[in-house]
Structure formats: C-alpha cells, structure tokens
Chains A and B, each alone.
Chain A
Amino acid sequence: MSRLLSIDGISVRYGAIEALHQVSMSVEEGDIVALIGANGAGKSTLLKAIVGQVPLCEGSISFRDEVVSTSEKHRKSLPTHMLARMGIALVPEGRHVFADMTVEENLDMGAFFVRDASLVARKKEEMFDFFPILGARRKQKTRSLSGGEQQMMAIARALMSSPHMLLLDEPGLGLAPLVVQDIFQKIKLINSEDKVTVFLVEQNARMALRSSDRGYCLENGRIVLSDASSALLENDRVRQAYLGE
C-alpha cells in the first residue's frame, strides 16, 4: 500500500489563535481513516487545510506524492476546485446540496469536469443502484429530501467524479442513529468495493472508529493519539473522553 495523503507538521492560525499546531498524519491508499475530536478541536480546520481553503503557517500537504499546499512563500496552496480535479472529493459539513436542483442534476454537478457524457450517465446509474432511495427520488428537488437522503446524495455527488479519496466532514451530523448506521455501512462498501480511500471526520467517535482502519485523535489543535482503530476503541483515554465509558 502506498501513501495517498501525507500531512507534514502543518500549523494553521486564525489571527492570534492557533487552530492547528504541527499536525502530522497520513492516509494510506485503500484505508478508511477516522479523525475524532471534540467541538473546536480543529477537525474542520484540518479538512479545510487539506482542500486548500485555509493557508498554512507551517508544514506542507502532499497528495499522491505531489505537494499541494505548503507554507513556503513562493508556493501557494492549490485551490479547492483543482484538488477536486486531482481526485480529492469533499463532502462538506452540513451537506451543502444544491437545494433547488433535482437529485439527478446534483449528481451531474458532481461530474462537472468529467467531459465524457456516457461515463457520467453510467456513473449516475451506478449511484442510483448503490443508493436506491436516490434512484426513486431522481427527479425530485433536493430540498424535499430528508436529512439522511441529502447526506447520501452529497456522498453520491462526490463519488460521481470517480475520486481517489473521499473526504467526509461529519457525515452523521444531525441524523437519526439508524440513518447514521446506514450511512457508515455505505461508506464501508464504497471503500471495499470501489476501492476509494476514505478520510472521515466525526464527533461520533464510536461509529467512526468501528468503521475505520486507522484513527487519529485531535485535541486543541494537536494530534494526541494515533493507532489502529480497533486499538483506539480499547484505549482508556479514548474510552473515557469520547466513548463515555
């Protein structure tokens, strides 16, 4: 297995506040990697840094052995849309669907830079097979979908461009426990069947660690733990702080 994403000692500051402090982590190809942490730990900032929406003060980020963001003055970070074209598909927190478009049109947007119409059509059918509920609602305005359906649609839209890596920001946010389970099952399937590497950020630590291969734990902008997810589930500190045991 090769290293798909590597983050080397990055720091991010919002004015005087340091949101991330020398964070290093890596995502191996084919893995599901979970990042857990409390509110305000810097999880979303880390994702924003990966997709080039906040500048780095220190360190660098590489994707497929290519530096995409660095703190050095002479190189800026690649903008989000370029990273999307390189194969990093982000499912933003809170879903960010195009509410006034139908499900099908949303999926079309996901394949915006794919010029091959027959490939897009095929991908769309794959998505409707994989998420049958979306197939049933394909002509419906996304606004009318339930939260769980919208989350599935956001994931399907991200997969439309056949990405190498799927970044999920709080996929379980605000959803019923059964729906969350369903979504994590789908994420596992996407990983095992489509061979898409998944990096997910989640507050629901138990769910995230159960579904992933590796886990990182972020506290106050620092990585405090990193291990195989199964080991983290047994870790006393994780059990106390995140699993409420």
Chain B
Amino acid sequence: MLNFFQLIIIYAGIYALMAIGQNCITGNTGMLSLCHAGFFCIGSYATAIICKTFGLPFWFSLPVAALASGIVGFLIGVPTLRLKGDYLCIATLGLGEIIRNIATNVNPVGMMSVPRAQLFGYQFSSRNKFTFILLIWFFVLIAYILFRQLAHSRLGRAMVAVREDEVAAASNGINVTKYKIGAFTLGAAVGGTAGCFATAYTLTVQPSSFTFMVSVMVLCMVVLGGMGNLLGVILGAFIIEFISYFPQLVGLSSVIPAQASQIIYGLVLVVMMICRPQGILGRDKYRYGDPRSTFSKLRDAVKSRKGGEVKA
C-alpha cells in the first residue's frame, strides 16, 4: 500500500511539472493549447536517446530534454499562435498527435532498459521510491519558485495583460506575439523536463503512452486546481493522479476498466465548470511587485535570523 502511494506521489510530481508548464501557457497567458503530450514525448525520447544511445549521464539529458521540447514548442508556436481560442486548441491538438505519430513510425517498439540516473554514485531506481520522490519533488519545487517569480515579474505582468486583453496589451506597448511565443516555448520546455523524469523512473519509452488523453489530463489539472494558480495546479495534478489510480488503489482494477478514469475527468471538469469555474484554489491573484514575494520573504527570514531589522 505504501509502495502504491509512493507511486502516485511520483507520478503526481511528474504531472505537476507538466501542469506547471501548461499553466504558463493556458493559465498565465490564456492560450488554450492541447499538445503537452507531444512535449512530454519529446522530453522522454530526448532522455532515452541521450542516456541509452549516447551513453551520457542523466543530468546531461535534463537540459537537452528541456531545450529540445522548447525548440519544438517555439517552432509550433510561431505559426499557430496567430490563432485564438478553439482554433488554437484544434491546431495544437493536431500537432501533438503528429509528434506522437512520428514517434510511433520511427520507433514503433519504443526504447527499453534506459540506464538509471545517478547522483554521486547513488542509483535512482524504482525499487527505492522514496529517493525518487525527493528527486522529482525537488525539481517541482524549483519549477514552482521560478514560475512564481516569473508571475510576479514584469514578464508575468505582460503575460497576464495578453491573457486579459490583447488589444489593450498591444496599445500599451506590449509585444503580444513575443510574449505568446515566449510563454509557449517556456511551457513546452517544462513539459519536456517532465518527460525526462518519467523516462528516468520507468526506464522505458513507449510511443503509445503519449496520447491526446495525456494533454487532456494535464489541462484538467490546471482547470481543476485554478488557472494561473501554481499551488492550485500542483494540487490538481495530485487529485487527477489519485483519481486515475483509484480503481487499483481499492483493488477493483479488474472490475473498473482503466478508461473509467476518463469519464471521471470529464465529470470532474463539468462539475467544476458549473460549481467553481475558478478552480479549487481560485484563479491567480494578480500581485505584481508584491513585497511579500517568495524571495523577499526569504530575505526577511535570513535578516531576522541574523538579528537585523525587518521592514514591514
């Protein structure tokens, strides 16, 4: 049982990274994109190729995975981000499927027995799930801090302006195209790192696992937790992961088909849209230049420990 919970926590971490990336695109900048499975796929393959084919260490594959999916995100973004709303959604959905189909055709059997990730001689293996939890959630924390800072920065402010009103944003001197493509690229890169950790955990890559449902799941997490709310989307990742493993958790996996969870996602989305459209933790509070941002809190904490004056 403990083992099973640990598994859920690991996958929740991987999906939390995905959801943070999707949140940058959909939550902050307001672009409805449905191709995060594609970025996940690219990150997974990049890691498998770097670690297995080239025999390089896992830590080298991490930036490569981010960069590769970031570049693909950029290339997808340049033509598609002229589209808005439903049209963007359809175009990105198609591109996500294209990525999966390319993977299926080039490498139909997938890649197996990818070497394990190592840190100072320690091997991260799926047998010791606890260290894996530490590894993944450490990176979730880093992503959380980085994106929180981003949301509070000038860039984050421009992204919110683009989401709220493109006409007004442009007439206030904001380069709408630049911020849309930037947010898309960044979100894609984070999706790629999630793929990197997934490969490091399962040590296999299956092209059939990057279906459209993965993108839907990630979007569900963002909507469920609260668009633009980082803590919300991480919570959303937890809840959705828990739902998808629920049949196995209660020992009914032989009775309840795996596809049942898709019905539940749909149900969750519908119920949320009716009862609490802003998500569980609510939409982001726009707090540009909030003096109580993470870093200044840390700074104050350090100062007070040193016995210095803390500004209110």
Contact = CB atoms under 8 A, between A and B. Distances in A.
Interface of A: 51, 53, 79-81, 84-85, 89-92, 96-102, 105, 108-110, 112-113, 154, 157-158, 161
A22 to B, nearest CB: 26
Given A108-B157, A109-B168, 15 more contacts: A51-B171, A80-B171, A81-B170, A81-B172, A81-B173, A84-B170, A89-B171, A96-B171, A98-B160, A98-B168, A101-B164, A101-B286, A102-B286, A109-B161, A112-B158
A45 B286 CA distance: 33
Contacts of B165: 96-98
A112 B288 contact: no
B167 A157 contact: no
9 contacts: A51-B171, A81-B170, A81-B173, A90-B171, A97-B168, A102-B286, A108-B157, A108-B288, A161-B173
B10 interface: no
Given A108-B157, A108-B288, A112-B158, A100 B170 contact: no
Interface string B80-107: 0000000000000000000000000000
Interface residues of B, number: 21
B172 A161 contact: yes
Interface string B164-184: 110111111111110000000
B164 A99 contact: yes
Interface of B: 154, 157-158, 160-161, 164-165, 167-177, 283, 286, 288
Contact of A92 (B154, B168, B176, B283): B168
A113 B173 contact: yes
A51 B173 CA distance: 11
Contacts of B161: 98, 109, 112
Contacts of A79: 170, 175, 177
A112 B171 contact: no
